[in-house]
C-alpha cells in the first residue's frame, strides 16, 4: 500500500469514529435519595477549589488481547451496574464482560459476553436492553444475543436495497440516487420495541469523501423467532448520520456528523452537521437542530438525568456543544462553544463524553492528548478544567508528540468513556470513570474522589479470553438477502482495513510510524568478524552512530566502534517489534553500513558526496556487501536480489546495480529516515514490493562469503571482516503487535 493512499484513508475515515456506548449513567429520582449520615457525607465529599477531590488513575487496569476497543458500556440496569461490557475487534472479536468489583479487574463470572459468530463482520457498537437481551452492531450485521449466557439468537445481515420515492443528491451534488444498499453502519439503539441503526452510505470514504443520503434503519424487535424484522427506514436531514441517542418522550436524537476530508492529519468538515429528533411512535423526523460545518463526534450524546440537555463533541475542534432538549436548540455551538482544548481547526478530536452521577461534571475524552478533561456544568456557565480536582486533565497515556518517553510520537488515544452508575462511596467504592485506550488496547480506571482506600491493582499476566467459551453459531437470517456485491467493501479490503466498519482510523486503524530495529533475534559471527560483539545489542539498535573522527565528508558516519562485523558469511536477524515495516510510497527501510567513498587527486574528500550524487560513475567506494531478507512471521523469509560480484568491483554507480546492502556510505548529520544521499543519511534502501510483501517485522542480513565457525561463539574475537552493520531505519511503518 502506498503511503499517500494510507493518508487518504485517514482522511476519508476521520468521519468515522469510536464511541462510548450507553455511558452507563445511573438514574435516581430526588425522592429516592437516601439520608446522609456524617460518615456517608465524608465519603461523598463535594469537590471545591478550597478542598479539591483527590484523583487516582490506574493505567492498564485491564489489558485486552487486541488494540482499539470499539465501545464501552456500564449498563444502568439492575444486576449489571458492576460490569463493563467492552467491544473488541480481535482476540476475541465480540464483547468482553469485565467485573468491576474484583481487584485487579477480571473477566466476569456472571456474564459471558459474546464471541462474534463467524462471518458477521467487525464489531463496532453495543446496546444492552436487559441481562438477557443485547444487540451488537458490526460492519455487516446486527447480532441479537444474550449477554448472560453468550448465546446469539440471530445474526441479521444489513444488505438489502432501499428505494427512494424521489431522486436524492449525493453529498457533493455531483449526481442523484434513487436507491441504495445501506453501508457503513455506525450506531445502534432501541426504543418502544424497535431497533434503530444509523448508516452513512459512503460512495467514496477516501478524500474527497462522497456519500449518499444517510439513513436510519428501523427493525421490529420480537421476544422469539424471528427476533428482528426490517420495518422501515428514515432519510436523515444531513449527511453521515452516526450517533443515535434515546431521549425523553419516546424520541431519539440522531447525530448527522457531516462529511469531512483529511488535510494532513486534520479532519476538515465539508458539509453541514445537525441533530435530527425522531419520534419513535411515527418513525418520522419532528425537529432538526442545525450545528454548522463543525464535524460532530460520532458518539451518542451525553444526556442529563432530567432529559433537559445533552452534550456532544467535535472531530475537528477541541470543543463541546450543548443542546437544549426542551426546545431543540443549540445553547453552545461553534460560535459559542464550551472550549476543552482549542478552537482552531485541528486542535483536537473529542471522541466521547459522559456525565457523572449527579450531572455536575461532564468528562470528555481527548484522543490527541490521551487525556480525560473534566468540565463543571452545574453552574450558570460550563467551566473547563475546574480547579476542584487535585490533577487536571486526567492523563491516561502519551499525547501525539515525540518525546523521550514516547520516541515514536504515537499517541495512546483516549477513546470510549463510561461512568459507573451510582453514587461513589455509597453505591460502590473505587473508580467511577472507565476509559478505553486505543494503542495499546486497555481499560483505564479513574477514581475522582479517592479517599485512601486500596488502589486498583494492575494484572501481571492478563488473559482476557480464558473464561470465555465460544457459543454455537446463531441462525443466519434468511428474510434479508446477503449482498453479493463487493462495492461496499472494495475500498476497505483493498486497503487492508476493517470492511464497512464505522470507525475513526485514529482510534482503530494501525498508526503510521518510523523508527529503527528494536531487538536482536539471532547473531552468527563468522571467523574473522566479531568487532562490536561485546557492545550488543545497543551497537546495532537505534539510529546510526556519529563518527569518532571527521569522516562525514568521506561518507562514513559510523565509527568503527559503532558497528558489528559479521565476518564472511556471518548473519544477524533483527526485530522491528511494534513498528512493523509496510509497503508504502518509495523505499520502506534502510540498511546502514560503514562503507566509505575513496578520495582521489581529482576528487578530494570535500567533493566526494556531491560528486557521488551528480556523477556516481566517477566515484569509488569501499564496500562489504550483504544480502537482505525480510519476513512477516520470522519463519518464511523473502530475499532481495543481490549480486555480490557487482558490489565488489567498479564504480559507485556499478556497485549500486548489485542491489546489495553495504554499498552506500552513511552520511553524518543527515536524516537516517530519508532515503538517498541528497536529503538523507545514505545507506541502502529497500522496497517490500520488490519481494511481494505488504509488511514485514524481521530483517535478516547475511554477509557475503563463506561462513566459518569461530573457536568460541561466545567470544568470536574482534575482527573487522565481513559486513559491518550499523543500523536499520524504518521509513514506512505501522504500529502493531
Tens of pLDDT along 421-453? 999 989 999 999 999 998 888 999 999 988 888
Beta strand 724-735 pairing with 589-593: antiparallel
Coil, strand or helix: which one is 554? helix
Q: Cα 594 from chain centroid?
A: 38
Please give the Cα distance from 630 to 313 (Å, whole number): 44
Peptide bond connecting 144 to the previous residue in cis, omega within 30 degrees of 0: no
- How many other C-beta atoms can be found within 10 angstroms of the C-beta atom of residue 4? 10
Average pLDDT for 459-487? 43
Structural domain boundaries in the chain: 3-26+47-508, 512-735
Sort 282 into a burial class: Cβ within 10 Å, 0-12 / 13-18 / 19+: exposed
Q: What's the pLDDT score for residue 222?
A: 96
pLDDT computed for residue 482 by the predictor: 39
* CATH class entry, domain 3-26+47-508: mainly beta
Q: Are residues 644 and 658 in contact, defined by beta-carbon separation less than 8 angstroms? A: yes
- Gap between the Cα atoms of 352 and 435, Å rounded: 9
The reported pTM is 0.64
Q: Please, are residues 349 and 357 in contact by the beta-carbon 8 Å criterion?
A: no
Alpha carbon distance 423, 593 (integer Å): 63
Residue 22: pLDDT band by 50, 70, 90 thresholds?
very low
C-alpha to C-alpha distance for 231 and 223, rounded to whole angstroms: 16
Percentage of the chain exceeding pLDDT 90: 62
Query: Residue 107 in 3-state DSSP?
Result: strand
Instruction: Indicate whether 468 pLDDT > 50.
Output: no
pLDDT at position 20 over 70? no
Give dist(CA 295, CA 317) in Å, integer.
8
Cβ–Cβ < 8 Å for 198, 254:
yes
Model confidence pLDDT, tens digit, residues 202-238: 988 777 899 999 999 999 999 999 999 999 999 999 9
Query: Would you state the pLDDT for residue 31?
Result: 33
Grid cell listed for 338? 464550551
Per-residue model confidence as pLDDT tens digits over 49-96: 888 999 999 999 999 877 889 999 999 999 999 999 999 987 788 999
pLDDT category of residue 737 using cuts at 50, 70 and 90: low
The pLDDT, as a whole number, for residue 456 is: 85
pLDDT surpasses 50 at 300: yes
User: Which pLDDT does position 159 carry in this prediction?
Assistant: 85
Return the DSSP state at 543.
S
Find, among 225, 128, 734, the residue nearest to 439 by Cα.
734
Q: What's the average model confidence in pLDDT over 353-381?
A: 91
First to last CA, the chain: 19
Distance CA(524)–CA(570), nearest Å, equals: 5
Residue 6 banded pLDDT, cuts 50, 70, 90: very low
Residues in the chain: 737
Strands 695-696 and 266-269: unpaired
DSSP 466-492: TTPPPPPPPPBPSSS-----SHHHHHH
User: What are 34's three cell numbers?
Assistant: 437516601
What is the residue-wise DSSP string for 67-97? S---EEE---STTTTTEEEEEEESSSEEEEE
The better pLDDT of the pair 52, 411 is held by 52
Distance CA 212, CA 241 (A): 11
Is the preceding peptide bond at 393 cis, omega within 30 degrees of 0?
Answer: yes
State the residue for C-alpha cell 545514505. Answer: 682
Residue 493 in this model has a pLDDT that exceeds 50 = no
Q: What percent of the chain has pLDDT over 70?
A: 83
Amino acid at each position: 500500500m502506498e503511503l499517500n493512499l494510507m493518508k487518504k484513508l485517514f482522511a476519508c475515515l476521520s468521519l468515522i469514529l469510536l464511541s462510548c456506548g450507553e455511558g452507563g449513567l445511573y438514574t435516581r429520582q430526588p425522592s429516592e435519595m437516601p439520608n446522609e449520615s456524617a460518615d456517608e457525607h465524608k465519603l461523598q465529599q463535594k469537590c471545591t477549589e478550597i478542598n479539591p477531590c483527590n484523583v487516582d488513575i490506574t493505567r492498564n487496569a485491564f489489558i485486552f488481547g487486541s488494540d482499539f476497543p470499539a465501545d464501552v458500556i456500564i449498563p444502568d440496569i439492575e444486576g449489571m451496574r458492576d460490569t463493563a461490557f467492552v467491544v473488541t475487534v480481535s482476540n476475541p472479536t465480540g464483547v468482553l464482560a469485565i467485573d468491576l468489583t474484583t481487584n485487579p479487574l477480571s473477566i466476569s463470572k456472571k456474564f459471558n459476553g459474546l464471541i462474534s459468530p463467524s462471518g458477521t463482520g467487525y464489531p463496532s457498537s453495543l446496546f444492552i436492553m436487559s441481562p438477557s437481551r443485547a444487540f451488537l452492531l458490526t460492519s455487516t450485521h446486527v447480532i441479537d444475543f444474550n449477554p448472560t449466557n453468550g448465546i446469539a439468537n440471530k445474526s441479521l445481515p444489513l444488505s438489502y436495497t432501499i428505494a427512494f420515492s424521489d431522486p436524492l443528491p449525493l453529498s457533493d451534488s455531483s449526481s442523484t440516487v434513487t436507491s441504495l444498499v445501506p453501508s457503513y453502519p455506525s450506531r445502534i439503539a432501541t426504543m418502544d420495541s424497535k431497533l434503530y441503526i444509523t448508516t452513512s452510505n459512503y460512495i467514496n470514504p477516501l478524500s474527497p469523501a462522497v456519500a449518499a443520503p444517510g439513513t436510519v434503519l428501523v427493525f421490529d424487535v420480537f421476544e422469539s423467532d424471528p427476533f428482528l424484522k426490517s420495518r422501515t427506514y428514515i432519510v436523515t436531514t444531513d449527511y453521515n448520520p452516526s450517533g443515535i441517542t434515546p431521549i425523553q418522550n419516546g424520541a431519539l436524537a440522531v447525530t448527522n456528523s457531516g462529511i469531512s476530508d483529511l488535510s494532513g492529519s486534520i479532519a476538515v468538515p465539508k458539509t453541514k452537521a445537525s441533530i435530527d429528533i425522531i419520534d419513535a411512535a411515527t418513525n418520522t423526523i419532528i425537529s432538526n437542530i442545525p450545528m454548522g460545518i463543525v464535524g460532530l463526534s460520532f458518539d451518542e450524546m451525553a444526556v442529563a438525568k432530567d432529559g433537559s440537555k445533552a452534550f456532544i463533541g467535535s472531530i475537528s475542534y477541541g470543543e463541546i456543544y450543548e443542546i437544549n432538549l426542551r426546545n431543540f436548540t443549540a445553547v453552545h455551538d461553534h460560535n459559542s462553544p464550551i472550549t476543552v482544548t482549542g478552537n482552531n481547526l485541528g486542535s483536537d478530536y473529542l471522541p466521547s463524553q459522559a456525565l457523572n452521577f449527579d450531572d455536575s461534571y461532564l468528562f470528555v475524552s481527548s484522543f490527541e492528548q490521551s487525556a480525560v478533561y473534566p468540565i463543571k456544568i452545574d453552574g450558570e456557565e460550563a467551566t473547563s478544567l475546574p480547579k476542584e480536582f487535585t490533577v487536571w486533565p486526567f492523563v491516561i497515556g502519551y499525547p501525539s508528540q515525540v518525546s523521550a518517553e514516547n520516541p515514536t510520537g504515537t499517541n495512546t488515544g483516549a477513546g470510549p468513556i463510561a461512568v459507573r452508575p451510582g453514587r461513589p462511596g455509597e453505591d460502590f467504592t473505587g473508580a467511577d470513570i472507565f476509559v478505553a485506550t486505543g494503542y495499546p488496547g486497555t481499560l483505564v480506571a479513574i477514581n475522582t474522589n479517592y479517599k485512601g482506600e486500596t488502589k486498583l491493582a494492575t494484572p501481571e499476566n492478563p488473559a482476557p479470553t480464558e473464561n470465555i467459551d465460544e457459543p454455537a453459531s446463531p441462525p443466519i437470517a434468511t428474510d434479508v438477502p446477503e449482498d453479493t456485491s463487493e462495492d461496499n467493501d472494495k475500498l476497505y479490503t483493498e486497503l487492508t482495513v476493517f470492511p464497512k466498519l464505522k470507525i475513526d482510523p485514529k482510534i482503530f486503524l494501525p498508526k503510521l510510524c518510523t523508527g529503527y530495529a528494536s531487538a536482536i533475534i539471532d547473531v552468527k559471527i563468522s571467523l574473522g568478524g566479531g568487532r562490536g560483539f561485546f557492545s550488543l545489542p545497543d551497537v546495532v539498535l537505534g539510529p546510526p552512530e556519529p563518527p569518532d573522527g571527521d569522516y562525514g565528508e568521506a561518507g562514513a558516519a559510523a565509527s568503527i566502534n559503532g558497528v558489528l562485523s559479521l565476518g564472511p558469511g556471518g548473519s544477524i536477524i533483527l526485530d522491528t517489534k511494534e513498528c512493523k515495516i509496510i509497503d508504502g510510497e518509495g523505499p520502506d527501510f534502510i540498511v546502514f553500513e560503514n562503507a566509505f567513498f575513496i578520495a582521489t587527486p581529482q576528487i578530494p574528500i570535500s567533493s566526494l558526496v556531491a560528486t557521488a550524487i551528480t556523477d556516481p560513475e566517477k566515484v569509488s567506494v569501499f564496500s562489504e556487501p550483504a544480502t537482505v531478507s525480510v519476513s512477516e512471521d520470522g519463519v518464511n523469509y523473502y530475499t532481495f536480489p543481490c549480486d555480490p560480484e557487482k558490489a565488489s568491483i567498479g564504480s559507485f554507480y556499478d556497485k549500486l546495480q548489485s542491489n546489495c546492502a553495504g554499498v552506500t556510505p552513511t552520511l553524518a548529520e543527515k536524516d537516517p529516515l530519508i532515503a538517498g544521499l541528497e536529503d538523507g543519511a545514505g545507506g541502502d534502501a529497500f522496497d517490500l514490493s520488490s519481494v511481494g510483501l505488504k509488511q514485514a517485522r524481521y530483517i535478516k542480513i547475511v554477509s557475503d562469503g563463506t561462513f566459518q565457525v569461530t573457536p568460541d561463539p561466545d567470544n568470536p574475537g574482534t575482527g573487522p571482516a565481513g559486513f559491518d552493520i550499523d543500523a536499520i531505519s524504518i521509513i514506512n511503518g505501522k504500529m502493531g503487535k
